Amino acid sequence: MKKNNTAPAPMKLYCNLFGHKYEVSKKVTLHVKEYTCKCCKKQLTTNSDGDLTELTPKFKEINSILEEMYVRRMERSREKGFRVPAY
Ligand SMILES: [Zn+2]
């Protein structure tokens, strides 16, 4: 068995061994969320298939458009007198 006495393993290595600790960092729409790993700050998002994928600049752009559309739709439904839950 090999023993490694170098500096403490970076958080990335921890993630590689034990998996990322993702938490929701942003709610884009009801179905699309952005996640950030608490350890290494890697970011994921929900793609159009409902799967998780890496949050690239392209996906950030898509999400900001989705968010804008979502907010606008929510505002419109509020104007109609439709009750939107506070959360
Ligand atoms: Zn991580």
- What is the 52 CA–ligand 1 centroid distance (Å)? 14
7 DSSP 8-state letter: S
- What is the 28 CA–ligand 1 centroid distance (Å)? 21
Q: Which tokens sit at 14?
A: 């921890």
- What is the 9 CA–ligand 1 centroid distance (Å)? 13
**Amino acid identity at 25:** S
- What is the 26 CA–ligand 1 centroid distance (Å)? 17
- What is the 57 CA–ligand 1 centroid distance (Å)? 19
* pLDDT tens sequence across 16-29: 999 999 999 999 99
List, as one string, the DSSP characters of 21-85: -EEEEEE-SSS-EEEEETTT--EEEE-TTS-EEE--HHHHHHHHHHHHHHHHHHHHHHHTTPPPP
* pLDDT tens sequence across 54-84: 999 999 999 999 999 999 999 988 877 666 6
Q: What is the pTM of this model?
A: 0.72
